[in-house]
Amino acid sequence: MSARILVVDDIEANRRLLQAKLEAHYFNVLHAENGKQALDLARTELPDIILLDVMMPGMDGYEVCQRLKADARTSYIPVVMVTALNDTEDRIRGLEVGAEDFLTKPVDDFALMSRVGALMRYNAVASELRQRQASGLKAGAVEAISEEELNRAARAFVIDDNPRTSARVASMLRDAGHSATTLLEAGDMSNLSEMGVDILILSASSKAFDALKLCAHFRMTESTRAISMLLICDPADRSKAGRGLEIGANDVIFAPVDRQELLARVRTQTRRSRYIDMLRKRVDRGLELSVIDQLTGLYNRRYMVGQVQQLMQRSIMGGKPVSVVTCDIDHFKSVNDTYGHDVGDEVLQEVASRLMENVRPMDVVCRPGGEEFLVIMPDTPGDLACAAGERIRRAVASRPFSVSGGRREITLTVSAGVATIRGHDDTMADLLKRADTALYQAKSGGRNRVESIAA
């Protein structure tokens, strides 16, 4: 997996050095020698990752990063601050303006490639979700991603068989406001998902267990797959650190653990995992908005059309017949006119509920619009569809509708029309038109009845 990386540094030798390191691993490298050039390139080229020097004349790296994150076109591009400064305040400032990570000069090859590799894996997931979100959210707006939620204190679980180092890491996290539980305190690792753990911190030096096997296990297990993993390694054992990243660890930190680096790594990984989780929820919500009627919770017309077409095609290809039952609430306009639209909405919701109670799990219940409902019945001949229509009619007419918080009861009925696929030449438009014709006959015949044009 390759990527385009923008290297920003006012010193050409530094740019060339990073370029050589990255191109040796087949990355495509772009150059910028100052802040303005970096912003212009970021907007036009949209690189996958930006390596940004902090100390530059004119516009420093902090300001560049802040501007990148404020621009919707570039806000999602991960920024790694590259600095000769090792002060805690400088690192914190970089994170505060939106940087995802940092590297200290002189840049270590392993640190560079592990950070870039982790960001590439993150980018691959985030990019796909953003694309799905862009195509799936046209049906309506969803809530914005919350910075407060992204920055909420982490829940960490420390896996280390050494009581002293385990307690030290947990203490660092707790002092910074995070929640930390050690394996030695918990006794086992059976309830990680129930505990709401955001990040696992594993010591590769532990003797009682193989940290890399645990990484593989957690990554393959459904309940722990989304949890971030930070591996603590001996600096002399870089091959194990590299292997850990290949197996599934999100990041590596070397012993002895520096407090500020630990906090920065935990913050970065927790933010990334939460961002991915929020994107997934937004995509799911967008898909729901595109196919679900928000008042009743039934499928909408858009979904109905796709399902009817798909099931008719399956029937034409040799499957069993498909039938539809279209239902319409009798005299619904008078409900709205007499009691108001709020009561009308309650009635629609209750009709939807009674419909769902009287169909099979395989049936697809939709609300195409207004007071009309439609049940798609796979593998169902006309006589069975008529029986289902009659069952629905009785369920609606059998007891009054309690509305206005139980202060009022309304007696209502529905009329229904049934149609069944007629053969290879039948179309969705024809099928639905026959169902509407049958419905009209039920209305004309006195309402509160089921009519069929099944064959």
- Domain chopping of the chain, boundaries: 1-107, 140-286, 301-452
> Is there a common fold for 1-107 and 301-452?
no
Give the distance from CA 321 to its chain's centroid: 37
The pair of three-digit structure tokens given for residue 94, joined into one six-digit string: 């970089």
Rounded to 5°, the CA angle 448-451-454 comes to: 155
Token pair belonging to 370:
């207004």
4-8 and 28-32 as β-strands: parallel, antiparallel, unpaired?
parallel
Positive/negative CA dihedral, 19, 23, 25, 29: positive
Q: Which residues of 394-432 are buried (b: 16+ CB within 10 A; e: fewer)?
A: ebbeeeebebeeeeeebebebbbbbbbbeeeebebeebb
User: Annotated catalytic residue: which of 371, 372, 390, 451?
Assistant: 371
Full strand arrangement of the beta sheet holding 199-203: 179-182, 155-159, 199-203, 228-233, 251-254
Q: Residue 129: which residues within 8 A CB-CB, separation 6 or more?
A: 276, 279, 280, 282, 283
371 included as an active-site residue: yes
Q: What is the pLDDT of residue 133?
A: 58
Residues of the chain with pLDDT under 70: 1, 85-88, 128-146, 286-288, 454-455
Q: At 64, which helix (H) or strand (E)?
A: helix 61-70
- To 5 degrees, how large is the angle CA 389–CA 391–CA 394? 110
- CA-atom Rg of the chain in angstroms: 30
373: helix, strand or coil: strand
d(CA 115, CA 76): 17
CATH number for the domain running over 1-107: 3.40.50.2300
Confidence (pLDDT) at 454: 54
**pLDDT tens-digit map of 340-352:** 999 999 999 999 9
State whether residue 231 is helix, strand or coil: strand
Which CATH class, in words, describes the domain spanning 140-286? Answer: alpha beta
pLDDT of residue 141: 42
- Domain 301-452 in this protein, CATH class: alpha beta
